[in-house]
Protein backbone atom coordinates (compact mmCIF):
# COMPACT_ATOMS: atom_id res chain seq x y z
CA UNK A 1 0.00 0.00 0.00
CA UNK A 2 1.22 3.52 -0.72
CA UNK A 3 2.19 5.92 2.05
CA UNK A 4 -0.73 7.45 3.90
CA UNK A 5 -0.62 10.84 2.22
CA UNK A 6 0.00 9.37 -1.21
CA UNK A 7 -2.94 7.03 -0.74
CA UNK A 8 -5.19 9.90 0.18
CA UNK A 9 -4.03 12.16 -2.58
CA UNK A 10 -2.77 10.21 -5.54
CA UNK A 11 -5.94 8.13 -5.78
CA UNK A 12 -7.94 11.27 -6.39
CA UNK A 13 -5.92 12.85 -9.17
CA UNK A 14 -2.79 12.52 -11.29
CA UNK A 15 0.14 14.86 -11.42
CA UNK A 16 -0.60 16.06 -14.93
CA UNK A 17 -2.95 18.79 -13.68
CA UNK A 18 -0.20 20.16 -11.50
CA UNK A 19 2.34 20.09 -14.29
CA UNK A 20 0.03 22.03 -16.57
CA UNK A 21 -0.51 24.64 -13.88
CA UNK A 22 3.20 25.30 -13.59
CA UNK A 23 3.49 24.04 -10.00
CA UNK A 24 6.65 22.39 -8.84
CA UNK A 25 8.97 24.85 -10.56
CA UNK A 26 11.14 27.35 -8.76
CA UNK A 27 9.21 30.41 -7.66
CA UNK A 28 10.21 34.04 -7.29
CA UNK A 29 12.56 34.21 -4.30
CA UNK A 30 10.78 37.25 -2.85
CA UNK A 31 7.20 36.04 -3.45
CA UNK A 32 4.97 34.16 -1.03
CA UNK A 33 4.08 30.95 -2.89
CA UNK A 34 0.56 29.64 -2.32
CA UNK A 35 -0.54 26.19 -3.45
CA UNK A 36 -4.28 26.66 -3.82
CA UNK A 37 -6.96 24.05 -4.41
CA UNK A 38 -9.66 26.58 -3.64
CA UNK A 39 -11.92 28.54 -6.00
CA UNK A 40 -9.67 30.61 -8.21
CA UNK A 41 -11.84 33.73 -8.39
CA UNK A 42 -12.27 34.11 -4.65
CA UNK A 43 -8.64 33.19 -4.03
CA UNK A 44 -7.57 35.88 -6.49
CA UNK A 45 -9.68 38.46 -4.66
CA UNK A 46 -8.19 37.44 -1.31
CA UNK A 47 -4.63 37.54 -2.63
CA UNK A 48 -5.09 40.95 -4.25
CA UNK A 49 -6.49 42.41 -1.03
CA UNK A 50 -3.67 40.84 0.97
CA UNK A 51 -1.04 42.32 -1.34
CA UNK A 52 -2.63 45.76 -1.11
CA UNK A 53 -2.80 45.58 2.66
CA UNK A 54 0.67 44.19 3.35
CA UNK A 55 2.80 44.92 0.29
CA UNK A 56 3.80 41.25 0.24
CA UNK A 57 4.16 39.80 -3.25
CA UNK A 58 2.42 36.48 -3.84
CA UNK A 59 2.49 33.72 -6.43
CA UNK A 60 -0.57 31.48 -6.57
CA UNK A 61 -0.35 28.02 -8.13
CA UNK A 62 -3.82 26.58 -8.57
CA UNK A 63 -4.73 22.95 -9.22
CA UNK A 64 -6.77 20.16 -7.73
CA UNK A 65 -6.00 20.01 -4.00
CA UNK A 66 -5.21 16.29 -4.19
CA UNK A 67 -2.64 16.89 -6.92
CA UNK A 68 -1.09 19.76 -5.01
CA UNK A 69 -0.90 17.71 -1.84
CA UNK A 70 0.78 14.88 -3.69
CA UNK A 71 3.29 17.35 -5.06
CA UNK A 72 4.17 18.52 -1.53
CA UNK A 73 4.83 14.90 -0.57
CA UNK A 74 7.02 14.35 -3.64
CA UNK A 75 8.95 17.54 -2.92
CA UNK A 76 9.82 16.00 0.46
CA UNK A 77 10.59 19.14 2.44
CA UNK A 78 11.91 21.08 -0.54
CA UNK A 79 8.62 22.50 -1.75
CA UNK A 80 8.61 26.04 -3.09
CA UNK A 81 5.21 26.44 -1.42
CA UNK A 82 4.85 28.56 1.70
CA UNK A 83 1.09 28.12 2.12
CA UNK A 84 -1.28 25.26 1.32
CA UNK A 85 -4.92 26.40 0.84
CA UNK A 86 -7.33 23.50 0.57
CA UNK A 87 -10.99 23.01 -0.27
CA UNK A 88 -11.37 20.12 2.20
CA UNK A 89 -9.76 19.08 5.47
CA UNK A 90 -8.62 15.47 4.77
CA UNK A 91 -5.69 16.57 2.60
CA UNK A 92 -4.59 18.98 5.31
CA UNK A 93 -4.89 16.25 7.93
CA UNK A 94 -2.82 13.93 5.77
CA UNK A 95 -0.07 16.51 5.32
CA UNK A 96 -0.15 17.26 9.04
CA UNK A 97 0.27 13.58 9.91
CA UNK A 98 3.33 13.39 7.69
CA UNK A 99 4.90 16.39 9.40
CA UNK A 100 4.77 18.87 6.52
CA UNK A 101 2.82 21.61 8.33
CA UNK A 102 3.89 24.29 10.81
CA UNK A 103 1.82 25.36 13.79
CA UNK A 104 -0.57 28.23 13.13
CA UNK A 105 -0.32 31.29 15.38
CA UNK A 106 -2.72 31.02 18.31
CA UNK A 107 -4.08 34.48 17.61
CA UNK A 108 -5.08 33.31 14.12
CA UNK A 109 -6.72 30.11 15.37
CA UNK A 110 -8.71 32.17 17.87
CA UNK A 111 -10.54 34.05 15.10
CA UNK A 112 -12.71 31.07 14.10
CA UNK A 113 -14.46 28.32 16.10
CA UNK A 114 -11.99 25.72 17.35
CA UNK A 115 -14.08 22.87 15.92
CA UNK A 116 -13.35 24.17 12.40
CA UNK A 117 -9.55 23.91 12.65
CA UNK A 118 -6.88 21.30 13.28
CA UNK A 119 -7.08 19.84 16.77
CA UNK A 120 -3.29 20.20 16.93
CA UNK A 121 -3.15 23.76 15.59
CA UNK A 122 -1.54 22.77 12.29
CA UNK A 123 -4.09 24.40 9.98
CA UNK A 124 -6.87 26.93 10.36
CA UNK A 125 -10.43 26.64 9.08
CA UNK A 126 -11.30 29.37 6.60
CA UNK A 127 -14.80 28.69 5.21
CA UNK A 128 -17.60 26.13 5.30
CA UNK A 129 -19.90 24.47 2.79
CA UNK A 130 -22.98 22.38 3.35
CA UNK A 131 -23.77 19.04 1.73
CA UNK A 132 -27.02 19.15 -0.24
CA UNK A 133 -29.00 17.55 -3.04
CA UNK A 134 -29.42 19.12 -6.45
CA UNK A 135 -32.60 17.87 -8.09
CA UNK A 136 -34.83 18.36 -11.10
CA UNK A 137 -38.35 19.51 -10.08
CA UNK A 138 -39.55 18.62 -13.58
CA UNK A 139 -38.90 14.97 -12.71
CA UNK A 140 -39.42 14.87 -8.94
CA UNK A 141 -41.82 17.76 -8.42
CA UNK A 142 -41.20 20.89 -6.36
CA UNK A 143 -39.92 19.83 -2.94
CA UNK A 144 -39.71 16.24 -4.13
CA UNK A 145 -36.08 15.57 -3.25
CA UNK A 146 -35.33 13.02 -0.51
CA UNK A 147 -34.36 14.31 2.92
CA UNK A 148 -32.08 11.43 3.86
CA UNK A 149 -28.76 10.45 2.30
CA UNK A 150 -29.45 6.72 2.56
CA UNK A 151 -32.51 7.14 0.31
CA UNK A 152 -30.36 7.85 -2.74
CA UNK A 153 -29.72 4.11 -3.14
CA UNK A 154 -33.38 3.13 -2.95
CA UNK A 155 -34.93 1.39 -6.01
CA UNK A 156 -37.23 4.34 -6.73
CA UNK A 157 -34.15 6.38 -7.68
CA UNK A 158 -32.53 3.66 -9.78
CA UNK A 159 -30.95 5.14 -12.94
CA UNK A 160 -31.91 8.62 -11.72
CA UNK A 161 -29.05 9.51 -9.38
CA UNK A 162 -25.81 11.13 -10.56
CA UNK A 163 -22.78 11.33 -8.28
CA UNK A 164 -19.04 11.96 -8.40
CA UNK A 165 -17.19 9.42 -6.24
CA UNK A 166 -13.75 10.84 -7.06
CA UNK A 167 -14.68 14.26 -5.64
CA UNK A 168 -13.06 15.04 -2.29
CA UNK A 169 -16.43 16.54 -1.34
CA UNK A 170 -17.91 13.03 -1.50
CA UNK A 171 -15.51 11.60 1.09
CA UNK A 172 -17.10 13.25 4.17
CA UNK A 173 -20.51 11.88 3.18
CA UNK A 174 -19.13 8.34 3.18
CA UNK A 175 -17.46 8.89 6.54
CA UNK A 176 -20.74 10.22 7.93
CA UNK A 177 -22.58 7.19 6.53
CA UNK A 178 -20.11 4.86 8.26
CA UNK A 179 -20.64 6.69 11.55
CA UNK A 180 -24.43 6.49 11.22
CA UNK A 181 -24.97 3.07 9.66
CA UNK A 182 -21.73 1.12 9.97
CA UNK A 183 -19.24 -0.05 7.37
CA UNK A 184 -21.26 -2.98 6.00
CA UNK A 185 -24.38 -0.91 5.38
CA UNK A 186 -22.30 1.89 3.83
CA UNK A 187 -20.60 -0.58 1.51
CA UNK A 188 -23.99 -1.93 0.39
CA UNK A 189 -25.20 1.65 -0.14
CA UNK A 190 -22.19 2.52 -2.29
CA UNK A 191 -22.59 -0.67 -4.28
CA UNK A 192 -26.22 0.22 -5.02
CA UNK A 193 -25.25 3.74 -6.11
CA UNK A 194 -22.54 2.34 -8.32
CA UNK A 195 -24.83 -0.23 -9.89
CA UNK A 196 -27.85 1.98 -10.50
CA UNK A 197 -26.43 5.52 -10.59
CA UNK A 198 -24.58 7.59 -13.17
CA UNK A 199 -20.94 8.24 -12.29
CA UNK A 200 -19.72 11.72 -13.24
CA UNK A 201 -16.18 13.13 -13.05
CA UNK A 202 -17.00 16.01 -10.70
CA UNK A 203 -19.81 17.84 -8.94
CA UNK A 204 -19.98 20.53 -11.58
CA UNK A 205 -21.00 17.81 -14.03
CA UNK A 206 -23.50 16.34 -11.56
CA UNK A 207 -25.12 19.76 -11.22
CA UNK A 208 -25.13 20.43 -14.97
CA UNK A 209 -26.57 17.01 -15.81
CA UNK A 210 -29.37 17.42 -13.30
CA UNK A 211 -30.04 20.88 -14.67
CA UNK A 212 -30.15 19.38 -18.18
CA UNK A 213 -32.50 16.63 -17.07
CA UNK A 214 -30.02 13.81 -17.71
CA UNK A 215 -30.19 12.82 -14.03
CA UNK A 216 -32.97 13.57 -11.58
CA UNK A 217 -30.86 14.25 -8.50
CA UNK A 218 -27.41 14.01 -6.99
CA UNK A 219 -25.42 14.80 -3.83
CA UNK A 220 -23.25 17.92 -4.01
CA UNK A 221 -21.98 20.72 -1.81
CA UNK A 222 -24.25 23.75 -1.75
CA UNK A 223 -22.03 26.11 -3.73
CA UNK A 224 -22.22 24.12 -6.96
CA UNK A 225 -25.91 24.93 -7.27
CA UNK A 226 -25.52 28.62 -6.41
CA UNK A 227 -22.67 29.01 -8.87
CA UNK A 228 -24.80 27.40 -11.58
CA UNK A 229 -27.66 29.76 -10.83
CA UNK A 230 -25.35 32.77 -10.87
CA UNK A 231 -23.88 31.79 -14.24
CA UNK A 232 -27.17 30.71 -15.85
CA UNK A 233 -29.86 32.79 -14.14
CA UNK A 234 -32.41 32.25 -16.90
CA UNK A 235 -31.50 28.64 -17.64
CA UNK A 236 -31.50 27.14 -14.16
CA UNK A 237 -34.05 24.35 -14.10
CA UNK A 238 -32.58 22.51 -11.12
CA UNK A 239 -33.32 23.22 -7.47
CA UNK A 240 -31.48 22.60 -4.22
CA UNK A 241 -32.65 20.68 -1.17
CA UNK A 242 -31.02 20.12 2.19
CA UNK A 243 -30.93 17.00 4.31
CA UNK A 244 -33.01 16.63 7.45
CA UNK A 245 -31.49 17.68 10.81
CA UNK A 246 -29.49 14.82 12.26
CA UNK A 247 -29.25 12.98 8.95
CA UNK A 248 -25.90 11.60 7.79
CA UNK A 249 -26.06 13.93 4.80
CA UNK A 250 -26.65 17.11 6.79
CA UNK A 251 -22.96 17.77 7.04
CA UNK A 252 -20.66 20.78 7.03
CA UNK A 253 -17.37 20.57 5.10
CA UNK A 254 -14.48 22.84 6.05
CA UNK A 255 -11.87 24.44 3.83
CA UNK A 256 -8.64 25.46 5.48
CA UNK A 257 -5.11 26.73 5.06
CA UNK A 258 -1.72 25.95 6.52
CA UNK A 259 1.87 27.12 6.47
CA UNK A 260 4.46 24.56 5.42
CA UNK A 261 7.31 23.76 7.81
CA UNK A 262 9.69 24.15 4.87
CA UNK A 263 8.34 27.61 3.99
CA UNK A 264 10.94 30.09 2.75
CA UNK A 265 8.75 32.92 4.02
CA UNK A 266 7.31 31.66 7.33
CA UNK A 267 6.40 35.05 8.77
CA UNK A 268 4.61 36.12 5.58
CA UNK A 269 2.84 32.76 5.46
CA UNK A 270 1.50 33.33 8.96
CA UNK A 271 0.34 36.80 7.97
CA UNK A 272 -1.57 35.34 5.03
CA UNK A 273 -3.30 32.79 7.28
CA UNK A 274 -4.22 35.59 9.66
CA UNK A 275 -5.62 37.62 6.77
CA UNK A 276 -7.82 34.75 5.59
CA UNK A 277 -9.68 34.69 8.91
CA UNK A 278 -9.61 38.44 9.49
CA UNK A 279 -12.82 40.40 9.13
CA UNK A 280 -11.65 41.75 5.77
CA UNK A 281 -10.72 38.33 4.45
CA UNK A 282 -13.93 36.73 5.65
CA UNK A 283 -16.04 39.47 4.09
CA UNK A 284 -14.32 38.83 0.75
CA UNK A 285 -15.27 35.16 1.07
CA UNK A 286 -18.85 36.07 1.95
CA UNK A 287 -19.15 38.37 -1.05
CA UNK A 288 -17.33 36.13 -3.51
CA UNK A 289 -18.74 33.77 -6.09
CA UNK A 290 -17.62 30.65 -4.21
CA UNK A 291 -20.85 30.77 -2.13
CA UNK A 292 -19.17 29.47 1.00
CA UNK A 293 -19.98 30.33 4.59
CA UNK A 294 -17.42 32.51 6.38
CA UNK A 295 -16.33 31.01 9.70
CA UNK A 296 -15.50 34.18 11.59
CA UNK A 297 -18.30 35.08 14.04
CA UNK A 298 -20.12 38.24 13.06
CA UNK A 299 -19.48 37.96 9.31
CA UNK A 300 -22.72 37.05 7.54
CA UNK A 301 -22.76 34.82 4.45
CA UNK A 302 -24.29 35.75 1.11
CA UNK A 303 -27.99 36.53 1.39
CA UNK A 304 -28.61 33.82 -1.19
CA UNK A 305 -27.53 31.16 1.30
CA UNK A 306 -29.84 29.82 4.01
CA UNK A 307 -28.60 30.40 7.54
CA UNK A 308 -26.73 27.37 8.84
CA UNK A 309 -28.56 27.58 12.16
CA UNK A 310 -31.91 27.01 10.44
CA UNK A 311 -30.63 23.80 8.81
CA UNK A 312 -29.05 22.41 11.99
CA UNK A 313 -26.12 20.68 10.24
CA UNK A 314 -23.59 18.40 11.86
CA UNK A 315 -20.03 19.66 12.28
CA UNK A 316 -17.81 16.59 12.22
CA UNK A 317 -14.49 17.42 13.90
CA UNK A 318 -11.67 17.29 11.35
CA UNK A 319 -10.01 14.56 13.39
CA UNK A 320 -13.09 12.36 12.85
CA UNK A 321 -12.99 13.02 9.11
CA UNK A 322 -9.34 12.03 9.25
CA UNK A 323 -7.05 11.85 6.23
CA UNK A 324 -9.56 10.07 3.99
CA UNK A 325 -7.53 6.87 3.66
CA UNK A 326 -10.34 4.59 4.92
CA UNK A 327 -12.80 6.05 2.44
CA UNK A 328 -10.42 5.86 -0.48
CA UNK A 329 -9.55 2.25 0.32
CA UNK A 330 -13.28 1.44 0.38
CA UNK A 331 -13.95 3.22 -2.92
CA UNK A 332 -10.99 1.46 -4.53
CA UNK A 333 -12.24 -1.91 -3.34
CA UNK A 334 -15.67 -1.21 -4.84
CA UNK A 335 -14.27 -0.01 -8.16
CA UNK A 336 -15.35 3.60 -7.71
CA UNK A 337 -11.86 5.03 -8.22
Indicate the domain borders of the chain: 4-128+254-304+318-331, 129-251
**Contacting residues for 21 by C-beta, under 8 A, at least 6 apart:** 61, 62, 63
- Tell me the per-residue pLDDT of 239-295, one tens digit each, with 9 for 90 and over: 999 999 999 999 999 999 999 999 999 999 999 999 999 999 999 999 988 899 999
Q: What is the pLDDT of residue 326?
A: 84
User: Predicted confidence band at 168 (pLDDT cuts at 50, 70, 90)?
Assistant: confident
Q: What is the pLDDT of residue 319?
A: 79
Q: Give the H or E element holding residue 76.
A: none
Q: What is the pLDDT of residue 149?
A: 97
For residue 116, report the phi and psi dihedrals to the nearest 5 degrees.
-95, 0
Q: Is the pLDDT reported for residue 215 higher than 50?
A: yes
Q: Per CATH, the architecture of 4-128+254-304+318-331 is what?
A: 3-Layer(aba) Sandwich (3.40)
- Tell me the per-residue pLDDT of 32-55, one tens digit each, with 9 for 90 and over: 999 999 989 899 999 999 999 999
User: Predicted confidence band at 19 (pLDDT cuts at 50, 70, 90)?
Assistant: very low
Helix (H, G, I), strand (E, B) or coil at 109: helix
Q: Per CATH, the architecture of 129-251 is what?
A: 3-Layer(aba) Sandwich (3.40)
**Contacting residues for 49 by C-beta, under 8 A, at least 6 apart:** 275, 280, 281, 284
- Using a 10 angstrom Cβ sphere, with 0-12 exposed, 13-18 middle and 19 or more buried, the burial of residue 263 is buried
Q: What is the pTM of this model?
A: 0.87
Q: What is the pLDDT of residue 21?
A: 36
Q: Do domains 4-128+254-304+318-331 and 129-251 have the same CATH topology?
A: yes
Amino acid sequence: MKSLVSTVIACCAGISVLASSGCGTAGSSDALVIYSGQHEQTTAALVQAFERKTGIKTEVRSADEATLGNQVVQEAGNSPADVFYSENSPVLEALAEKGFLAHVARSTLAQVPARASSAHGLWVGVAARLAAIVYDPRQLGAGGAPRHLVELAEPRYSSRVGFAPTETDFQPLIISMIRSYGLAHTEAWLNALHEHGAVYPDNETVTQQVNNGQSALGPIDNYYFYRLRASLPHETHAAIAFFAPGDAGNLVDISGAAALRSASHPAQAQRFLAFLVSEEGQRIIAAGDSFEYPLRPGVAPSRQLPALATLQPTFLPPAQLGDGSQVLALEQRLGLL
